[in-house]
Structure 1
Amino acid sequence: MPTIRSNADLKKHYNEISTFCHNYTEPVFITKNGKLDLAVMSIEAYEELTSRFELYSQIKEGMDDIATGNTRPFSEAMADIRSRRRR
């Protein structure tokens, strides 16, 4: 169940909300005039989330390369890497 607090709560209970965000890896949703306005999370949770997005992006790029045939045999790639290391 998502945690939802008002922007007034954020102002009055910042430390409590900050502690919650650090203890749980889920965001706290902040409302303004009764409507969702912000999602607040710890910097650790944010960094983990952005790392996942980067990983998913790299996986998608690899899957797109496979779909378009932009690949080569593993042995050929390794031979290229080894030849570059010798230079």
Structure 2
Amino acid sequence: MQIVPMRDLKDTVQIEKKCQNGPVFVTKNGYGKLVVMNMEYYESKIAKIAEADFINEGIVDFANGKINDGKEVIKELKDNLLK
């Protein structure tokens, strides 16, 4: 984790280089204000969040009894495809 003061944002080339190793935390008057990151890092984190959301939905469905037997589902799919 890298921390830089707000004034360092003027040197965009240097900030871009720092973002290659992960997000850069930007401070103003000693307090956190911004996080700067490259697109690849951002997209990978968003993908992980979406994945976790799907897993959580599955856990909630399981807890609420909204589940189907795998063998039954496969049989229904095969039956529907052969119609």
Structure 2 residue corresponding to 1:57, chosen from 45, 53, 60:
53
2:16 matched to which residue of 1?
18
Aligned pairs (5 A) from 1:60-75: 60-75=56-71
Distance 2:25 2:59 in 1: 34
2:39 matched to which residue of 1?
43
- TM-score by length of structure 2 reads 0.89
Q: Post-superposition shift, 1:46?
A: 0.1
Identify unmatched segments of 5+ residues in structure 2. none
* Cα-Cα RMSD: 1.4
What CA deviation, in whole Å up to 9, does each residue of 1:28-57 have, x standing for no partner?
000123211011111000000000000000
Secondary structure of the equivalent of 1:69? coil
Identify unmatched segments of 5+ residues in structure 1. none
- TM-score by length of structure 1 reads 0.85
Distance 2:79 2:28 in 1: 60
Secondary structure of the equivalent of 1:31? strand
